[in-house]
Every structure is written in C-alpha cells, then in structure tokens.
Amino acid sequence: MNATHPAPPISEIARRLDQAERKGIAIKQFGDVLSLEVAYEVQAELRDLRLARGEHLTGAKLGFTSEAKMAQMGVKEVIVGFLTSTMEVHNGDRLRLDGSVHPRVEPEVAFRFGQAVPPDASEEQIIASVDAVAPALEIIDSRYLNFSFSLADVVADNTSASRYVLGEWTTFTDDLAGRTVTLLVDGSITETGTTSAILGDPLNALREFARMYRRHGAGLPAGAVLLAGAATAAVPLSPGSTITAIVAGIGSVELETAGADS
C-alpha cells in the first residue's frame, strides 16, 4: 500500500473506467493502491452503472484460465467478469472498431445456462444448469494504457470485457477436452491451441466458476452464457478483417471488423 497516494473512492474508479470505455480513451493503471477485494467492488459498481442505462446481464466470463493467456499478460490467477446485452455481436456480423481503445480477439468455448442461476446457487446446481456449449470469440479491450495491468486493475476493469460472439449451440457434452482450437484472420491460421489449455478441460473452468460464484456471483437469467476463457493468446484486431474460430467437433464462429466509415 502506498500511504501517500490512497486509492480514489470505489465510485470514482468505476466512473473513470466507465468513461474510458465509453470514450475509447485509455487511462492510467491504479496499481498497488487497489486491492483485489476492492477491485471486485469496483466491477460490481460498473455493472450497476450499465444496468442503470438499460443493459441486461447476459452472462459471465472467466479470464486467465490458460497458460497462453497468463504468459501473454503476466497474470496468474483466474478472474471473473460480467457480460451484458450491448456486448453481444451476432455470429457473422460486422463490428466497428472505432471507439475501441486497442481491441484484441481470442477463441473461447461458451456454456449456456438453461435455467436461471440464483445468487445463492450451489456448485452442483450451477453445473447442472448448463444445457449447451458453443464456440465463441471474445473481444477484449483493456481500458488501461498499453494494455497492461495488475490483477486488481484488470478485475476492476471487468476483466477487459468488450464484446463476444457465439457460434451455434450444441447439446452439452462432457467430452470437451483435447479439441483443437484454431483462430483464423482472413482465412490464415493465426493461433492454434487446444481446449485442454483451458484449465486442462473447459469443464474445469465451469467448476472453477461454480466455486467462485458464491463470492462474486449476483444471479444470472435463464439463457445466460459463461465464456470459459481463451485457449490461445489474444490477437490485435484491425478494421476490414474476417475473424474465425473453430473448435473441433463443436463448430465455428465468425466476426467481421470495420473502421469508422463502414
């Protein structure tokens, strides 16, 4: 802790991060003065700000469930964030990148909760609520300068969540490990990995989420999704590209990017 520079109040940190997201202008990291516990309170306040503007909660996401991501970002603990209605981009749609800070894309696996998950749901209840899986793309966009942060910084910034795209849902299977994950940019393979990179098996990510839910969960509606975390490192996004993720045996998902004039 740095006694000469105490952390700004939670509402002030949330306001700055919210503004950074809305304007697409990066801010300075909060760093040492921010604890992980306070960071999750900032994240809850960010969620409340969005819900007050009419957005709906559509799911949750995990971060740093793979070595590839931990190594890329220098962070080593699983974190959780929230997803809202304005973050969803439909499969194959075009996303305008103007207004983003420095967006990156990563291939993921998504779970769907067929039933609402109450705030006091047990781990077993959460796992039993899952009825489908899909390939997904997550667009992350840190609100911090240089896309660099401490664990608490990135938790406060809702784990860099920006947009997500879901492929077609298929019936839930527990046979999710060892599937090749491929990320293509304009048809060229840019990253490859395997679903086993996600905590050994995406199911372990679901179990980890269920464990973390008691502390950080606030209820999810029926149909909500969980992004299990990227299987590979994230790739910078630029306008005019087609991004495709393929999860072997599960399916594929696509996104087009555009600049300011399209």
Q: Which residues bind Mg ion (CB under 5 A)?
A: 138, 230
Residues 139-158 that bind ligand OOG (CB under 6 A): 140, 142, 154
Q: Residues 217, 117: contact at Cβ < 8 Å?
A: yes
Q: Which stretch binds ligand OOG (CB under 6 A): 41-49, 114-122, 136-144, 207-215?
A: 136-144
69 contacts which partner out of ligand OOG, Mg ion, none, CB within 5 to 8 A by kind?
A: ligand OOG
Q: Which stretch binds ligand OOG (CB under 6 A): 35-43, 44-52, 62-70, 208-216?
A: 62-70
Binding mask 158-187 toward ligand OOG (x if CB under 6 A, else -) reads -xx---------------------------
142 contacts which partner out of ligand OOG, Mg ion, none, CB within 5 to 8 A by kind?
A: ligand OOG
Binding mask 192-231 toward ligand OOG (x if CB under 6 A, else -) reads -------------------------------------xx-
Strands 180-185, 242-247: pairing is antiparallel
> In the complex, what is the shortest distance from the CB of residue 80 to ligand OOG, in angstroms, rounded to a whole number?
10
| Six-digit token string for 54 | 């009419």
Q: Which stretch binds ligand OOG (CB under 6 A): 9-17, 60-68, 114-122, 168-176?
A: 60-68
**CA angle at 106 for the pair 103 and 108, rounded to the nearest 5°:** 140
244 contacts which partner out of Mg ion, ligand OOG, none, CB within 5 to 8 A by kind?
A: none
> In the complex, what is the shortest distance from the CB of residue 99 to ligand OOG, in angstroms, rounded to a whole number?
18
Backbone φ, ψ for residue 58 (5° rounding): -120, -5
Closest to 132 measured CA to CA, from 144, 145, 115:
115
> In the complex, what is the shortest distance from the CB of residue 48 to ligand OOG, in angstroms, rounded to a whole number?
21
135 contacts which partner out of Mg ion, ligand OOG, none, CB within 5 to 8 A by kind?
A: none
Residues 85-114 that bind ligand OOG (CB under 6 A): 106
Interacting residues with ligand OOG (CB under 6 A) = 61, 63-65, 69, 73, 106, 138, 140, 142, 154, 159-160, 229-230
